[in-house]
A and B are shown apart, each in its own frame.
Chain A
Amino acid sequence: MIDHISHSLIDSWLNCQTKYKYRYILGLEGEEVEALRDGKEYHEEVDKYHRGLEYNEELIQNYTRVFPKNYRLNSEYRILPKGDSEPIKLFYKMKVLDLPFHGVIDNIGDGFLSDLKYMNGKLSKRQADESRQPTFYLWWYWITHNEIVPFVYQCVDKKTGKVAVIKTERTEEDFEKLCDDVKEIIRDIRQAENEESYISNAGWQCNYCKYNLICPDRKE
């Protein structure tokens, strides 16, 4: 049964309930998707760079040109994966949810939060403004620091290596709306778990799904 909330859990549920079931109910890791492997490697090298460890200079040269080293990762606030951390307190203040929030944020800068995206092209401003991910983390920051700060996407284009910076902001109203949406999603998840009924959302995204090989509803 659902025992925590995270951006990726909510995202998984909304993208495809069958994917949610494989990951969060059956606990399957899934297969490593080639298209996502490069992104993982890029993140790891950027992480090493910020922590002052030896890193692959050639791979992330465009990134290091744009973001200097004093743009540091504050490990005090690094939220660790499920099982490795104390739940973030913000949900204790939201008693109706009764579920702890888990997640990992790429970087907490001086007066902003940021996330690295290794992708084809870059995010548009509209995508950044509509994404739930910044809302989650800015909401967490607002509860824990009593301050609303902007969120910055660092987009690295896989093909050209170009780096783009996309800024997005949120308000208290956005946090309240997210809270309402999450409550409803949790109710839907609990109902699906009780009924053992999960609806697939097959489409182009099946090609990037870690559970593609075993899913009965995959789109070829």
Chain B
Amino acid sequence: MKNKIDIIYEELQKPLDRSVILRREHDKLEYIAGYVAIAQANKIFGFDSWGYSITKYPELIQKDGALGYLCAVKVWVKLNGELVEKEDVGYKDVTLTKKEKKPMLEVAYKGCVTDALKRALRSFGDQFGNSLYDREDKLEKISDTLSTEEEKGMSEYMQTLLDCKTEEEVNEALDNIAQIAIQDKWTEKKLNHMKMLSKRVKDGIVVKNSRKEKREQEKKA
């Protein structure tokens, strides 16, 4: 029978479930939401075995001509009867409301605490999005992304993938696309983009089909 510490270490070694990862459109930066990080901590460490404190309360600062809040948070986790502590800083820009252009101070104040919490938690590994902070990896992702103009040129093939109902249809569509890619001498970037999209479509079809099966089973029951 495994003890609690072994179970925790095992969980921490696992790669992060990609479905919880969000992506900022403007710079393609991947991240996890604050509530996801907290849910992960509760799940892995236990509700009563971890917590955090604000070691530096949010301070309004000016950075690169913009206003933002900066703070620091310390996370503690009870592991094997001992307290393990990780501390990090957090920052959040003060943005303006769309209509009245008023600064959203409260959002930034709370947001910087969430940022610091996530950054402190990431010291515990990939379950808290540590790999998403890898800059080299992010740069590759940015350069792999097609511009809107390039995407427009691929829209016919994107629609073909959207019309697929099964994984087999997606494979067939991708084979056809690969042949066109060779014929028309596509760049590796374009072809990789289509491969990535077809994988996404297949994953989506698998989830939809399993939900459909579950609903049908529930109806029968």
Instruction: Provide the B18-35 mask, 1 if CB < 8 A to any CB of A, else 0.
Output: 010011111000000000
**Interface flags, A188-199, vs B, CB<8A=1, else 0:** 100001011111
Interface presence of B3 (CB below 8 A): no
Chain B residues with CB below 8 A from A195, complex form: 26
Interface status of A17 (Cβ within 8 A of chain B): yes
Whether the pair B22, A202 counts as a contact (CB closer than 8 A) is yes
Q: Which residues of chain B in 93-117 are interfacial with respect to chain A, using CB atoms and an 8 Å cutoff?
A: 98-99
Residues from chain A with Cβ under 8 Å of B155 in the complex: 26-28
B12 is an interface residue with CB less than 8 A from chain A: no
Q: Which residues of B contact A (CB under 8 A)?
A: 19, 22-26, 98-99, 147-148, 151-152, 155, 158-159, 161-163, 197, 200-201, 204-205, 207
- Of A42-50, A64-72, A163-171, A209-217, the stretch lying at the interface with chain B is A209-217
CB <8 Å contact, B204 and A198 = no
Shortest beta-carbon distance from A90 to chain B in Å: 23
Dominant secondary structure at the B interface = helix
Residue of A nearest to B198 (CB): A214
Residues 172-220 of A contacting B (Cβ, < 8 Å): 184, 188, 193, 195-200, 202, 210-218, 220
Q: Verify B161–A214 contact, CB threshold 8 A.
A: yes
- Can you list 29 A-B contacts with CB-CB less than 8 angstroms, sorted by A residue number? A21-B148, A25-B152, A26-B151, A26-B152, A26-B155, A26-B158, A28-B159, A28-B162, A29-B159, A29-B162, A31-B162, A184-B98, A188-B98, A193-B148, A196-B147, A196-B148, A197-B26, A200-B23, A202-B22, A212-B204, A213-B161, A213-B201, A214-B158, A214-B197, A214-B200, A214-B201, A214-B204, A216-B23, A220-B19
Q: A189 → chain B, closest Cβ, in Å?
A: 13
Q: Given A25-B152, A220-B19, do A214 and B25 touch, yes or no (CB 8 Å)? A: no
- In angstroms, Cα B163 to Cα A210, docked, is 10
